[in-house]
Structure 1
Amino acid sequence: MPLDRIALVTGANKGVGKQVASELVANGLTVIVGSRDLTRGREAAADIGGGATALQLDVTDARSIATAAAWIRERFGRLDVLVNNAGISHTQADFTMDDYAAMSRASTASIEGVRAIWDVNVFGTLAVYQAMLPLLRESSDARIVNVSSGLGSLTETSDPNYPYRSTFGPGYPASKTALNAMALAMSIELEGTPIKVNVVSPAFTATALNDFQGTESVEDGSREVVRVALLGADGPTGTFTLWNGEVIPW
Structure 2
Amino acid sequence: MKTVLITGANRSIGFETARQLLKLGYYVYLGCRDLVKGQQAVEKLHAEGLDQVTPLLIDVDNPASIQAARTKVRSLDVLINNAGISGGYPQSSTDTDLHVFRQVFETNFFGMVEVTQAFIDLLKQSSSPRIVNVTSGLGSLNRQSDPTYVHYKVKPVTYVSSKAAMNAYTIVLAYELKNTAFKVNAVDPCYTATDFNNHSGPGTVEDAAARVVKAAVLGPDGATGQFFSDDNAPETGISPW
Matched, 1:9 2:6: yes
What letter is aligned with 1:144? I
Structure 2: runs of 5 or more not aligned: none
In the alignment, is the contact (CA less than 8 A) between 1:46 and 1:52 conserved in 2? no
In the alignment, is the contact (CA less than 8 A) between 1:34 and 1:55 conserved in 2? yes
* SS of aligned partner of 1:113: helix
Q: Write out per-residue CA displacement over residues 127-176 of structure 1, whole angstroms, 9 at most, x where no aligned residue.
A: 00000000101111110000000000001111122232222242111111
* SS of aligned partner of 1:88: coil
Q: Which residue of 2 aligns with 1:189?
A: 176
Q: Which residue of 1 aligns with 2:240?
A: 249
Matched, 1:172 2:159: yes
Cα offset, 1:109, TM superposition = 1.7
Among residues 222, 235, 242, which one is paired with 2:209 in the alignment?
222
Q: Which residue of 1 aligns with 2:68?
A: 67
Structure 1 residue ranges (4+ consecutive) displaced by more than 6 angstroms after TM superposition: none
Cα offset, 1:195, TM superposition = 1.0
Mean CA deviation greater in 120-129 or 202-211: 202-211
Q: Which residue of 2 aligns with 1:55?
A: 56
Alpha-carbon distance between aligned partners in 1 of 2:227 and 2:43, rounded to the nearest angstrom: 32
* SS of aligned partner of 1:167: coil
What letter is aligned with 1:112? H
CA RMSD between the two structures: 1.2
Identical positions, percent = 41
Structure 1: runs of 5 or more not aligned: 92-99
Alpha-carbon distance between aligned partners in 2 of 1:206 and 1:178, rounded to the nearest angstrom: 24
* SS of aligned partner of 2:120: helix
What letter is aligned with 1:151? L
In the alignment, is the contact (CA less than 8 A) between 1:168 and 1:174 conserved in 2? no
What letter is aligned with 1:137? K
Matched, 1:37 2:28: no
In the alignment, is the contact (CA less than 8 A) between 1:9 and 1:17 conserved in 2? yes
TM-score, structure 1 normalization: 0.90
* SS of aligned partner of 2:202: coil
Cα offset, 1:194, TM superposition = 0.3
Q: Which residue of 2 aligns with 1:140?
A: 127
- How many residues align structurally? 233
What letter is aligned with 1:65? I
Q: Write out per-residue CA displacement over residues 112-140 of structure 1, whole angstroms, 9 at most, x where no aligned residue.
A: 11111110000000000000000101111
* SS of aligned partner of 2:72: helix
